[in-house]
Amino acid sequence: MTGLTARASARLERAVDAMRARTSTPPRRTRTTVVLGRALGVLVLVCFLTGLYSHVLQSPPAWFPLSSRPVGLYRVTQGAHVLAGLAMIPVLLGKLWAVYPRLFTWPPVTGPLSLLERASIGLLVGSALVEVTIGVMNIAQWYAFDFSFRRVHFVLAWVLVGSVVLHVAVKLPLIVGFWRARPVDPAAEDAPPRRTWPEQLPTDPGEAPTQTEAVSRRGALIAVGASAGAILLGTAGQTIAPLAPLAVLSPRRPGIGPQGLPINRTAAEAGVEQSARAEDWMLEVAGARSRIRLTCDHLAALPQTTADLPIACVEGWSQTATWTGVRLHDLMDLAGGTTGTGLRITSLQVRGAFSRTAMPQVYVEDPLTLVALRLHGDELDIDHGYPARIIAPGRPGVMQTKWLSSIEVLP
């Protein structure tokens, strides 16, 4: 029995060695994985910080110092979040391509440190793939999963960042050793490409690569960089207007939509076509000391303010538009003022996570926060929130409530 298991183990080891030899190529040197890992680390950090900011804006903790200025800050942070997430796709795939021969090392686990290294890789790869996949699905508004995207995306972001920190800690000696490129040795130009892998070349940090290896590795990195650049060029136009004609990979582009502005959810999808157009529609405003009800004519007769404000959505698209309406602060004064605790904004739509939102006081007091009635000088299209909607500087688009029903001070 012992002989049988020994022969089986020897055959398996030879098979794994053969597989590793076939998959180990000059571009797959440790230097390649470190360069790709650096890019991946930067992209993960950008996505994490900008995503955290977006989450805080949607669910602000009491201690966080919210600000409505600059008006385009969320447009920048969320645009960077989505673009960095999309650029992560080729970098992540390139990193996986560079390291997957590691699966064929034998024995697969050699001790506690090896087990920790394998666990960190599994956690990092799994969380990164799921995080990027559901992020892309959210951009396309394809919700094939039966769970809250926002909640899962937020939790996985912490898991991903934690796994990156753990992976860097485990791999720190290799990262330090291969952080800087070694000059190519001209004398080794004619040397045949070596089958390489870090564990087979422990002295590699001090050893110059052959010219063949350097060219192959550079080609692999250029391929990953070109793929990331193509994705950025094909999507950046959803928020950078001059690049809009090139945004062939973006579901939404500036200038395309009712009144020249994209939308995420139509009135038909929200089920408000009849209630929003009802002749008896009135906006109920409950202030600190009184409650009033205003028709469209009442709102139109109040002093109007026009402002150029961006609308920026979590899916990454954004566009500045000209909005006209009643200052929210003035409207609340008509209803007896506020209590300083913020407002509850309610839409006519009865379903959806953002049919009812809370607006912190900092936005209520901003003179550019409007109950908008007009867009680009014309009455709001019903898909943009007719008869009235909220537009506030620096807030995520999902919180710019459309088809207003009521506004009331929070207790």
- Say if CB 283 and CB 325 are below 8 A apart: no
The model carries a pTM of 0.85
In angstroms, rounded to a whole number, what is the distance separating the alpha carbons of residues 272 and 370?
A: 21
Q: What is the chain's Cα-based Rg? A: 28
- pLDDT tens digits along 352-399: 888 999 999 999 999 999 999 999 999 999 999 999 999 999 999 999
Predicted pLDDT of residue 394: 94
pLDDT exceeds cutoff 50 at 322: yes
Predicted pLDDT of residue 36: 92
- Most distant pair of Cα atoms in the chain: their distance: 95
- pLDDT tens digits along 42-52: 999 999 999 99
DSSP 312: E
Choice between 102 and 350, residue whose per-residue pLDDT is larger? 350
- The answer to whether the bond into 242 is cis (omega within 30° of 0) is no
